[in-house]
Structure 1
Amino acid sequence: MRILHVLSAEFFAGSVAYAVQLAEAHRAQGHQVWVVADADKLPTGATLVWAGISNRSYRQRLRNARIIRQLVKKERIDVVHCHSRAASWVSYFALRGLAVPLVSTVHGRQHLHTSTSLLDVYGDKVIAICANLREHLISEVKMDAAKIEAIPNGVAFGNEELASEDFALRISFIGRFNGGKGERAAALLAQVFPALLREFPALRVALIGGELEHLPAAGKTALAQLQADFGERIEVVGFSDDVPGWLACTTLVIGAGRVAIEALGAGRPVLALGEASYEGLVTEDTFAPAAASNFGDIAARLSASEVDFAALLVDAQGFLRQPQAVPAALRQQVQAHYSLATIAARVLEVYQAARMQKAVPGFIPVLMYHKIPDAPLATKHHIYVTKDNFEKHLAYFKKQNLTPITFADYLKYANGERSLADFPARPIILTFDDGYTDNYTNLLPLMQHYGYRGVLYLLGDADVRHNQWDLVADPTEPRSDIMDLAQKRAFVAAGWEIGAHTMSHPRLTTLPLPEAAAEIQRSKAALEADLQTEIVTFAYPYGDLNEAVKDTVREAGFALGIATDTGGLTIEADRMQVFRVNMFPNESTSSLFKKTSPWYRKYYRWKRGK
């Protein structure tokens, strides 16, 4: 893809570090990247274009918009990614009338003024860096929840724990010294550090971060007193481009956001103190809520942000009396959650989603079939369409100029392998679950006759040769045989997409999560080994899912999770819960018209009050 980042970079804040590392991760994958910023130099090999993004005068904003628009058109940019409200504002106007999507990463709470709600400058997709921020954008900014993805900042962690020859007992406060962070620093200087320095004669306190000259007056007074009382034990570092070096010689870090993430990933304990809250010492038990607030920086709702500095002092004293390294399990947890490679892949999905949402904004009908028998079945489960009726479906699709594609096809358009100019005007996706033998004898020949391909969802366990899950629930149900491997391979040879459907067809939400994960992961691996084809989508048996199961499907490496009668208005509303339309034995021409119409998803929601 051809990616343009737009950011305010007057100083090297965490948002700038995030954008630069993201740009480098995508460049390493072969994508072309440009950066528009108010910086003469940034640590990236991306093409850098200067613009005064931080200058909010209307004249400069118009210049910025013109620079971005010209660059987008000249370089045929696929997606623009902004990293501040100022960047989003100028990019929003720069892209007016162009079929280029805008993605914004929101790094902090937004001011709740009228223009924030009335003018949605953040574009087609929004990345919120933590769960609390996503909730804030939905509940307070009134942003459409379907366009927001909670994706944390990615960090390129080193493989080894940091080591240093400096073995001093040291607390490092790392962060900006202006605004809310400056107020926290001032309180630490006045209420916490004096007591710690008196109790621990060997302790040093390092103050690391930019904007030190903007430390509140009370903080400057407290700092001067500390320097007078403790001399060289107070290390005023200011801005440093060697934060890893300081982390290596630090016993305990006080900070939030990216500082906390990098420290924990490097094996340094953290007292999470941010602009919004104090989250305490980060442990395996407290990691999840601390991460949700970006380690104290972001509250989900506007509220008083008072911090009990007496409690923080007690926590710091308790730790310094018995200093301990970050447990390996917590370090691994942090590195997995904030892995740059994982985050870069997630962000690339957002780019693709924004691109497709812009190019294909309407509902694509995804139809769900199961058995295609010769004659009606004596079953209470109406999950079949007879061969003759199914041929009528295909004839209807052909007459209506519907073009069957697979999810694999769709993803190739999304990632740029296929030109969006070639995307069909009226696409339809035909899916078939479980792999019954009549799919081979009846379905495949009919689809080939019409020149169609579909998506076949199969179990990973090739030894499952009939619908045993139905018979366990109700022994009176008729037995329906499942294809053997040779028959399944015929679909691969015919150009069909094969998707995973677990190993044994359980209701995933009824299983312990590790068992559900095994069903999901093993089915992908088994099908890829048996059929020698890439498996990129997963269909939930019974349409049974919850957020934990959806996360597990994503973590297993699937690009799309396919549901049943639940999901968003479009594929890109939620890639892990794609809406499918159930097809029944007695579909009529009117029902086929309804279920393949672009308004059907909205109609379905309205009818069921969803």
Structure 2
Amino acid sequence: MPLNSIAWIGRLTGPKGEIAQRIVNEVAPRFPDIKFTIVGGPENEPMRKAAGNNVAFLGFVEDVNAVIESHDLVIGAGRVALEAMRKRVPVIAVGESQYIGPISEATINQAKASNFGDCAHPQPWTARQMADDISRIARGELSLPLAHYAEYLRDYAADEVYGKVLEVYRRARIDAYLGRYREIPVLTYHRILQTRPSDSKFNIYVTVDELDWQIKNLKQRGFEFITFNEIADGVQGKKPVILTFDDGYEDNYQNLLPLLKRHDAKAVIYALGDRAIRNNRWDMARGEPEAPLMNDEQLIACHRSGQVEVGSHGMSHRHLPQLTVDEALHEIQESKRSLENLLGAEIVSFAYPYGDCGARETEQVRQAGYLFGIATVSGPTKMADDLLRVRRITMFPNTKAAGFFKKTSGWYLRYCKLKGKDF
């Protein structure tokens, strides 16, 4: 590329001034045919006197972008480097701590990590490094990927920055909320049936009468029904409990929703993102009778009732650790997108199918933008210790009053951990 003009943009005092001085004294003299422009201040008379005929000083300028656009190469750090990249002007990044060099695929990660050389562990560098890089660019030996600069800048886009700041804020608010509780009972249910089935293999149900009694018992004991979205929003509750229902069965709409309305209770239902799946085919393959899932209209009705928060249970209820990285990510990301498009609301929690998750899956859930990852018998006893592995307590049919009290006591998880029992 032709290299006729180079701009240094930055203040002329402190460490930045030292960089400018090195450019004037040691770099510019090696390139008498290239015009060097020093932009910034305050006035530095000794630097001006030391400059050769190919160095000009502009001082402070109103329109820095115009300076960037009128030069073939920009030297700078921080915002200067970002603005030059945004205009697809080649950049050599050097800051108060490090010399990064020409911005390319090989250097962009180091540049981002150090604010383009300004914020990092100090590393010495020489003017010869910069001069050699300028020579390589001028001779065409180093081709900079200007077409990729926009991609490099994606992390600095307003929507990206807003999302990351909001995530930090919301997680801080969640930590503040949860820090007051040693345990919050998070109960796991599946189907809600009028009568007991005679052919259930896995017994993942309770009857309407059982759940009705349990909800009334929780209310009598002073529990407040909350959801994960309410935790994220900082809604206060003196004695919270969370009811969760996996898979999104049609009987949740038929039998659970009326109970929630009757008792003014709330729950979280984990539905599939693939709305074409109409039954529990994953359990049918293992001998469980067929059970229909809610259709779109029923799930929307639950959401709009104000009693139900919807979470994701993956696209198709697959064992995530058994999938490839891309397959697992598809299950996690696309189910969020699908349900959010259907409901017009943010999906903040993901329940791992079969409760099966490892470090890869929890990180993928975080990257997908969920605030909570919901497990079963894995994770710490205190929710605040790991929001991506929230431990739950599974509810089965025929649970007696004493057993229900124990499971919702607020010390049950610690008791089971002490005893080495399942949850």
**TM range, normalised to the smaller chain?**
0.7 to 0.9
Task: Work out the number of aligned pairs and report it.
Answer: 400
1:174–1:259: 8 Å Cα contact kept in structure 2? Answer: yes
**Rg larger in structure:** 2
Secondary structure of the corresponding residue to residue 265 of structure 2: coil
Distance 1:521 1:351, change over 3 A: closer
For 1:526, the equivalent position in structure 2 comes to: 338
Q: 2:364 aligns with which of 545, 549, 560?
A: 549
Q: Compare 310-319 and 203-212 and name the one that shifted more.
A: 203-212
> Following TM superposition, by how much is the alpha carbon of 1:533 offset from its aligned partner in structure 2, in angstroms?
4.2
> Following TM superposition, by how much is the alpha carbon of 1:427 offset from its aligned partner in structure 2, in angstroms?
3.1
Secondary structure of the corresponding residue to residue 150 of structure 2: helix
2:3–2:73: 8 Å Cα contact kept in structure 1? Answer: no
Distance in 2 separating the partners of 1:504 and 1:192: 61
Distance in 1 separating the partners of 2:237 and 2:243: 15
> Following TM superposition, by how much is the alpha carbon of 1:332 offset from its aligned partner in structure 2, in angstroms?
2.8
5 Å-filtered alignment, 1:371-382, equals: 371-372=190-191, 374=193, 375=196, 377-379=200-202
> Following TM superposition, by how much is the alpha carbon of 1:362 offset from its aligned partner in structure 2, in angstroms?
2.2
Q: 2:69 aligns with which of 248, 259, 264?
A: 248
AA aligned opposite 1:183 = E
Secondary structure of the corresponding residue to residue 593 of structure 1: coil
**Mapped pair 1:367 → 2:186:** yes
Q: 2:159 aligns with which of 341, 348, 354?
A: 341
> Following TM superposition, by how much is the alpha carbon of 1:234 offset from its aligned partner in structure 2, in angstroms?
1.0
1:272–1:281: 8 Å Cα contact kept in structure 2? Answer: yes
2:187–2:395: 8 Å Cα contact kept in structure 1? Answer: no
Distance 1:591 1:406, change over 3 A: closer
Distance in 1 separating the partners of 2:99 and 2:416: 46
Secondary structure of the corresponding residue to residue 457 of structure 1: strand
For 2:252, the equivalent position in structure 1 comes to: 439
5 Å-filtered alignment, 1:178-197, equals: 178-195=13-30, 197=31
AA aligned opposite 1:378 = K
Q: 1:429 aligns with which of 229, 234, 242?
A: 242
Distance 1:342 1:466, change over 3 A: same
Q: Residue by residue, what CA displacement relative to the aligned partner does 1:496-545 show, whole Å, maximum 9, x if unpaired?
A: 22223332233556655555554444334433454x44243240423635
AA aligned opposite 1:484 = M
Q: Residue by residue, what CA displacement relative to the aligned partner does 1:100-131 show, whole Å, maximum 9, x if unpaired?
A: xxxxxxxxxxxxxxxxxxxxxxxxxxxxxxxx
Q: Residue by residue, what CA displacement relative to the aligned partner does 1:12-41 show, whole Å, maximum 9, x if unpaired?
A: xxxxxxxxxxxxxxxxxxxxxxxxxxxxxx
Secondary structure of the corresponding residue to residue 296 of structure 1: coil
Distance 1:308 1:570, change over 3 A: farther
Q: Residue by residue, what CA displacement relative to the aligned partner does 1:65-124 show, whole Å, maximum 9, x if unpaired?
A: xxxxxxxxxxxxxxxxxxxxxxxxxxxxxxxxxxxxxxxxxxxxxxxxxxxxxxxxxxxx
> Following TM superposition, by how much is the alpha carbon of 1:478 offset from its aligned partner in structure 2, in angstroms?
2.3
1:168–1:204: 8 Å Cα contact kept in structure 2? Answer: no
Distance 1:551 1:425, change over 3 A: closer
For 1:209, the equivalent position in structure 2 comes to: 40
- Identity between Structure 1 and Structure 2 (%): 29
> Following TM superposition, by how much is the alpha carbon of 1:305 offset from its aligned partner in structure 2, in angstroms?
1.8
AA aligned opposite 1:281 = P
Q: Residue by residue, what CA displacement relative to the aligned partner does 1:241-286 show, whole Å, maximum 9, x if unpaired?
A: 3221111112222222222222212212222212222222222343
5 Å-filtered alignment, 1:471-550, equals: 475-479=285-289, 481-485=291-295, 486-495=297-306, 496-508=308-320, 515-530=327-342, 532-541=343-352, 542=355, 544=357, 545-546=360-361, 549-550=364-365
For 1:19, the equivalent position in structure 2 comes to: none
Secondary structure of the corresponding residue to residue 368 of structure 2: helix
TM-score, scaled relative to structure 2: 0.78
For 2:8, the equivalent position in structure 1 comes to: 173
Distance in 2 separating the partners of 1:469 and 1:235: 73
> Following TM superposition, by how much is the alpha carbon of 1:291 offset from its aligned partner in structure 2, in angstroms?
0.9
2:103–2:144: 8 Å Cα contact kept in structure 1? Answer: no
Q: Residue by residue, what CA displacement relative to the aligned partner does 1:451-473 show, whole Å, maximum 9, x if unpaired?
A: 212121211212213334456xx
1:209–1:239: 8 Å Cα contact kept in structure 2? Answer: yes
Q: 2:109 aligns with which of 284, 288, 307?
A: 288
Distance in 1 separating the partners of 2:304 and 2:12: 63
5+ residue gaps, structure 1, are 1-166, 214-219, 415-419
TM-score, scaled relative to structure 1: 0.56
Distance in 1 separating the partners of 2:8 and 2:299: 60
Distance 1:307 1:604, change over 3 A: farther
**Mapped pair 1:329 → 2:148:** yes
Distance 1:482 1:256, change over 3 A: farther
1:366–1:428: 8 Å Cα contact kept in structure 2? Answer: yes
AA aligned opposite 2:23 = L
> Following TM superposition, by how much is the alpha carbon of 1:345 offset from its aligned partner in structure 2, in angstroms?
4.2
Secondary structure of the corresponding residue to residue 135 of structure 2: helix
1:440–1:483: 8 Å Cα contact kept in structure 2? Answer: no
> Following TM superposition, by how much is the alpha carbon of 1:386 offset from its aligned partner in structure 2, in angstroms?
5.9
Distance 1:562 1:190, change over 3 A: same
AA aligned opposite 1:338 = Y
5 Å-filtered alignment, 1:91-490, equals: 169-195=4-30, 197-198=31-32, 201=33, 203-211=34-42, 213=44, 224-225=49-50, 227=51, 230-231=52-53, 233-299=54-120, 304-322=122-140, 326-334=145-153, 336-354=154-172, 361-363=179-181, 365=184, 367-372=186-191, 374=193, 375=196, 377-379=200-202, 390-411=211-232, 413-414=233-234, 423-469=236-282, 475-479=285-289, 481-485=291-295, 486-490=297-301
